């Protein structure tokens, strides 16, 4: 215990003397987490600017524009008299989509000639592109049913029957586990996992690199344990803020995640120590760690599914504690799955302890080569 108290004392001293280490350990973790959270404060893509070319100028075409305006995802900001006019605004992302209402829309609908409304949308920004597309498809369905019910009512003057004829089949879509399709609740936990993995690995390397070989092993272990606690508390506080303070939907208690969080932090520390003993040089070890952990978010599989990645990418993903932590996290917080589903990611994180003998061996080896 005296080793731990000793470590605590020296570490607090070190943090007080080194404002950069202090930043990395104390205020950058919550600061960066908050910044990432703020980015997605809108929750969903909303009021995306779109332009309209109304070549019909009928009451029906104006209704289409009203529907566009009424969609929460869209905001009609520009009106053009021709497609050419709107082209420049699409190229410089002044608008994300241009909806072209053809001349004679109203007439063609009356004649049952099934006219087409054309929508050009910017698919370079994939997420906005998809949001706009689904908003447009929704409007198409609404409009089609409305027009069709109007037509059918002539033959079958009962509104329910006309409605059912226009829409022989209805579907009810359920977005399981993220009911309101909120991008913050979807992205932020994964961003935090990637961020903390990086921070913990870096801080571990920095702390291992200090006073290198003179530090006895017990003190090194005590110091590492101290950081395990500090970062576990950071993560726990961040999650408590999100799921408690902001009341994000969750299926299990956040405190129950503590074992998983703790294992995640320790696995990251072991990786950090491993990178350190690979080179025994701060700059080179950090370069290795950076090459490994900087692009972690892409590999976590929240934006692009892990199951559809190449074999190599899946292998790379499996090496990341953050990926297993996130699996366990989603199982508990989102799916409320049984203990078996959280146990597996926990065991995988535990498996990172195979690095312990490697780290000890490398330290011994280096010490003996110095004597």
Q: Which is nearer to another protein, 1 or 311 (CB)?
A: 311
Q: How far is the CB of 258 from another protein (least distance, A)?
A: 22
User: Structure tokens of 219?
Assistant: 């003190």
Positions 234 through 273 that interact with another protein (CB under 8 A): none
Contact flag: residue 352 with another protein (CB under 8 A): no
Single out the residue of 51, 222, 301, 321 in contact with another protein (rule: CB under 8 A).
Answer: 301
Q: Strands 74-80, 97-101: parallel, antiparallel or unpaired by DSSP?
A: unpaired
Provide the minimum distance between the beta carbon of 299 and another protein in the complex, in angstroms, as a whole number. Answer: 6
Q: Which of 1, 84, 116, 154 binds another protein (CB under 8 A)?
A: 116
One residue of 90, 226, 263, 271 binding another protein per CB under 8 A: 90
Q: Tell me which residues in 130-149 interact with another protein (CB under 8 A).
A: 130, 133-134, 136-137, 139-140, 143-144, 147-148
Q: Tokens 């200090």 correspond to what residue? A: 210
E strand map for 197-280? none
Residue nearer to another protein on the CB measure, 291 or 360: 291
Diameter of the chain measured on Cα atoms = 99
| Shortest Å distance, C-beta 56 to another protein | 12
Q: Which residues of 221-242 are buried (b: 16+ CB within 10 A; e: fewer)?
A: ebbbbbbbebbbebbbbbbebb
Spatial separation of the C-alpha atoms in residues 225 and 238, rounded to whole Å: 20
Beta carbon nearer to another protein, 312 or 371:
312
Place of tokens 């309209």: 52
Write the DSSP symbol of residue 254: S
**282-293 vs 258-279: helix axis angle to the nearest 10?**
130
Q: How far is the CB of 177 from another protein (least distance, A)?
A: 5
Distance CA 210, CA 69 (A): 60
Of 307 and 369, the one with the shorter C-beta distance to another protein is: 307
Binding track, positions 173-202, relative to another protein; x by CB under 8 A: xxxxxxx-x-x--x----x--xx--xx--x
Dihedral in degrees, nearest 10, Cα atoms 48, 36, 296, 272: 170
The stretch among 50-58, 78-86, 259-267, 295-303 that binds another protein (CB under 8 A) is 295-303
Return the structure tokens found at 331: 């199982």
């Amino acid at each position: 215990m005296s080793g731990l108290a000793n470590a605590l004392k020296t570490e607090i001293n070190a943090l007080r003397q080194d404002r950069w280490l202090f930043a990395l350990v104390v205020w950058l973790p919550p600061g960066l987490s908050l910044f990432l959270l703020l980015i997605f404060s809108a929750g969903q893509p909303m009021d995306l600017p779109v332009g309209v070319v109304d070549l019909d100028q009928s009451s029906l075409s104006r209704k289409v524009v009203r529907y566009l305006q009424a969609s929460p995802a869209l905001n009609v900001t520009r009106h053009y008299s021709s497609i050419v006019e709107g082209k420049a605004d699409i190229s410089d992302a002044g608008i994300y989509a241009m909806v072209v209402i053809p001349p004679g829309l109203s007439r063609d609908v009356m004649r049952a000639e099934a006219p087409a409304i054309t929508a050009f949308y910017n698919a370079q920004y994939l997420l906005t592109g998809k949001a706009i597309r689904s908003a447009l498809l929704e409007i198409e369905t609404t409009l089609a049913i409305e027009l069709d019910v109007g037509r059918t009512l002539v033959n079958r003057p009962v509104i329910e029957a006309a409605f059912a004829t226009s829409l022989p089949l209805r579907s009810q879509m359920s977005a399981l586990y993220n009911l309101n399709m909120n991008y913050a609740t979807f992205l932020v936990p994964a961003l935090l996992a990637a961020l903390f993995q990086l921070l913990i690995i870096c801080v571990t390397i920095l702390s291992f690199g200090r006073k290198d070989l003179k530090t006895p092993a017990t003190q090194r272990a005590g110091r590492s344990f101290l950081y395990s606690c500090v970062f576990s508390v950071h993560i726990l506080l961040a999650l408590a803020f999100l799921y408690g303070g902001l009341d994000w939907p969750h299926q299990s208690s956040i405190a129950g995640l503590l074992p998983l969080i703790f294992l995640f932090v320790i696995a990251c520390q072991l990786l950090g120590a491993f990178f350190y003993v690979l080179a025994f040089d701060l700059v080179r070890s950090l370069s290795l760690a950076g090459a490994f952990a900087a692009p972690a978010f892409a590999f976590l599989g929240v934006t692009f599914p892990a199951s559809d990645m190449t074999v190599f990418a899946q292998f790379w993903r499996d090496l990341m504690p953050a990926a297993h932590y996130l699996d366990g996290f989603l199982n508990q917080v989102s799916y409320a799955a049984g203990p078996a589903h959280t146990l597996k990611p926990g065991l995988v994180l535990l498996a990172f302890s195979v690095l312990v003998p490697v780290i000890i061996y490398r330290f011994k080896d280096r010490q003996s080569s110095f004597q």
